[in-house]
Structure 1
Amino acid sequence: MKKRNWMRTLLASLAALVLLAATALGIGVFLAERKMQRFVDVPAKPVAYRSDAAALERGKYLFASRGCVDCHGSTGTGRTFAEDGGLVIAGPNITTGPGGVVAGYQPLDWVRAIRHGVSPKGRPLMIMPSEDYNRFTDDDLASLVAYVRSLHPASGQGTVLKLPLPVKALYGYGVIKDAAARIDHNLPPEQPVPEGVTLAHGNYVANMCIGCHREGLVGGKIPGGPPDWPPASRLAPGEGSVMNRYPDADAMIAMFRSGKRPDGSAVQVMPFESLREMSETDLRALHLYLKSLPGKG
């Protein structure tokens, strides 16, 4: 009799735990759906369109080297860049062809989307890594927009975002944040600095690393990444920093070009399709800046 009562108690406890987990999951999914539909008010100002040759050339370089290709493809028609079990994420078509999402964009809409991760309707753009682009100068933003607007119209799809229920629940509870929630929307745009192998230019280039390597470049779990992605490396000085592997800029440039560490092992996750397109000036300035950061424990 005692054994039977013990089994009943155990089964009842397990059933209660399952019910509690299901309830927590349901609440998390509900919160996620509500969060996805929230209105994000940002103090954005439009940046005037450009179409001059210098802007188009600069914009083409930024598109190729700052991760746009990885999500939108080389032609801008969209690309599936994460597919793991129930997780499917694809960047949308950003040409003006069928299925494109930017045909009706006005100057202010580009600023809100690129710098702030917010759609023209004020909803968060779930997969737009705007924390990497939030510090773009007005010139760079205008140049990138000029190039995207020059892309040949072609058919493609809109955003694809399929999240497993546990991932969606974590988003609902705030464990995973969208880009719009990770940005200080009140920061003014960066002011232009001369391009060169300088600390100031390296600091500007390093803004593109924040999305994965986090504020302060301390590394850790990549926000919104699939569960099997390894954590981003620590770039800042301190215990575990990978910059000890790259004592000079040439060593780091070789890694960006090949996708391999100095010991020959492959670096996972980093978007080398874009990173290998970075100019030598940008990479040498980035290395100079990373090596200049004050030491931390």
Structure 2
Amino acid sequence: MKRVIRIAGWTIAGLIVAAGLVLATGILLAERKAQRQVHVPAVPVAYRDDAQALARGKYLYESRGCMECHGADGRGRVMINDPSGMFVRTPNVTAGNPDIARYRERDWVLAIRHGVAPSGRPLMIMPSEDYNQLSDEDLSALVAYMRSLPPLLSGMTEIRLPLMARVLYGFGMIQDAAAKIDHARPPSPPLQPAPTAAYGAYVANACIGCHGADLAGGKIPGAPPDWPPAADLRPGAVMLRYRTPERFIEMMRNGVRPDGTEVSKVMPFESLRKMSDTDLTALYLHLKALPVTQAAR
């Protein structure tokens, strides 16, 4: 009996040591990954700061999630403060932040389109996969608007990830945007906003950070554990609720489904309700035109 107890004790001790080694290795790998150099052949875009560009940039800032994370005035905000230990205070993107004040044209392209800091390290929590396909014209307008924001002072950027999130990041089960993006892929060509499925495909790029490149939804990698999975946006799944563009637009504006139930507040409704009827109609038509997969049936 004593021999069995000794064996069990040594087994448990071995498992504890092995688990500790796995955690330590994951944390070490995460630190190395967060400090790695990402080499991107980013090409600066030609910036405009005329009234039309600034108006377009303001619309994109407010409707594509920038305002949701960085605040209406751009000074940053506490975006996540979760009991699991995840805390995110987003960067101040005005010239009041000395780092932003030093941004050159190429630096804006690196950060927004590629998820890479001017130093070459990956930007954490920045969903650049949503913005990688912005046309040069839209990227130029967005940056012009951000550069026009009054310089403001704010707290320092702070990102704290729970232990398991850091370990999963270290082992590659959670990726930063710089690891997800095909950096050689050219941006979208200039597109005129129109209520068409083709333009809706362009608008839908803003959804892939949470809903995935195929818009199939699922657990959002790196999100707090109490966040619900992102919905499957393909035909045959949640889009069955929305028989008309009007119903879809109403949900995107007020966060309530046709049956009266509320959509999770994880959805960035602060930004989504700023989308124009043209963009939302185009998005609806694109989602309805996606191929129906077996999983969505």
1:252 alignment partner in structure 2: 248
Match of 2:205 in 1: 207
Of 254, 262, 282, the residue aligned with 1:285 is 282
More divergent stretch after superposition (44-53 vs 9-18):
9-18
Alignment of 1:18-57 (within 5 A): 18-57=16-55
Q: Within 1, Cα distance between the matches of 2:240 and 2:210?
A: 19
Shift of 1:49: 2.1
The answer on whether the counterparts of 1:93 and 1:100 sit within 8 Å (CA) in structure 2 is no
Q: Deviations over 1:119-160 (max 9, x none)?
A: 001100011110000000011000000110010111013321
Q: Distance in 2 between matches of 1:127 and 1:159?
A: 11
The residue number in structure 2 matching 1:295 is: 292
Report Cα offsets for 1:12-54 as digits up to 9, x if no partner: 2111111111110000000000000111111210012211000
Cα distance in structure 2, aligned partners of 1:68 and 1:228: 23
Give the count of matched residue pairs: 292
Write out per-residue CA displacement over residues 141-185 of structure 1, whole angstroms, 9 at most, x where no aligned residue. Answer: 000001100101110133211011211010000000001111111
CA contact (8 A) 1:100 1:158 kept: no
Q: Which portions of structure 1, spanning 4 or more consecutive aligned residues, are displaced by more than 4 angstroms?
A: none
Match of 1:267 in 2: 263
Residue 8 of structure 1, CA deviation: 2.3
What is the alpha-carbon root mean square deviation over aligned residues? Answer: 1.1
Q: Which residue of 1 aligns with 2:92?
A: 93
Whole-Å separation in 2 of the counterparts to 1:209 and 1:80: 22
2:263 maps to a residue whose letter is V
Mapping for residues 1-297 of structure 1, pairs under 5 Å: 2=1, 4-85=2-83, 86-97=85-96, 99-238=97-236, 241-268=237-264, 269-297=266-294
Which AA in structure 2 matches 1:165?
Answer: L
Structure-2-length-normalised TM-score: 0.96
Give 1:95's aligned amino acid.
T
Secondary structure at 1:161 match in 2: strand
Task: Give the superposition deviation at 1:274.
Answer: 0.6
SS of the residue 1:216 aligns to: coil
**Does the 8 Å CA contact 1:205/1:286 hold for their aligned counterparts?**
yes
Which sections of structure 1, spanning at least 5 residues, go unmatched?
Answer: none
> What is the CA–CA distance in structure 2 between the aligned matches of 1:262 and 1:159, rounded to whole Å?
39
CA distance in 1, matches of 2:175, 2:273: 28
Worse overlay, 151-160 or 165-174: 151-160
- Contact 1:50 1:142 (8 Å CA) reproduced: yes
Offset, 1:7: 2.3
- SS of the aligned residue for 1:169 comes to helix
Rounded Cα–Cα distance in structure 2 between residues aligned with 1:101 and 1:22: 37
In the alignment, the residues of structure 2 paired with residue 100 and residue 10 of structure 1 have an alpha-carbon distance, to the nearest angstrom, of 58
Quote the Cα distance in structure 2 between the aligned partners of 1:35 and 1:216.
26
Residue 81 of structure 1 aligns to a residue whose secondary structure is strand
Is contact 1:100-1:155 (8 Å) kept? no
TM-score, normalised relative to structure 1 = 0.96
Output the CA distance in 2 between the equivalents of 1:152 and 1:234. Answer: 39
Contact persistence 1:70–1:79 (CA under 8 A):
no
Paired with 1:264 and 1:219, the residues of 2 have a C-alpha distance of 22
Deviation, structure 1 residue 189? 0.9
Offset at residue 100 of structure 1 (A) = 4.8
**What CA deviation, in whole Å up to 9, does each residue of 1:225-257 have, x standing for no partner?**
11111111111234xx21001111111111111
The one-letter code of the counterpart of 1:290 is: L
Return 5+ residue gaps in structure 2 as ranges. none
Deviation sequence 1:70-96 (CA, Å, 0-9, x none)? 211111001111111211012110111
Q: Letter of the 2:14 partner, please give it.
A: A
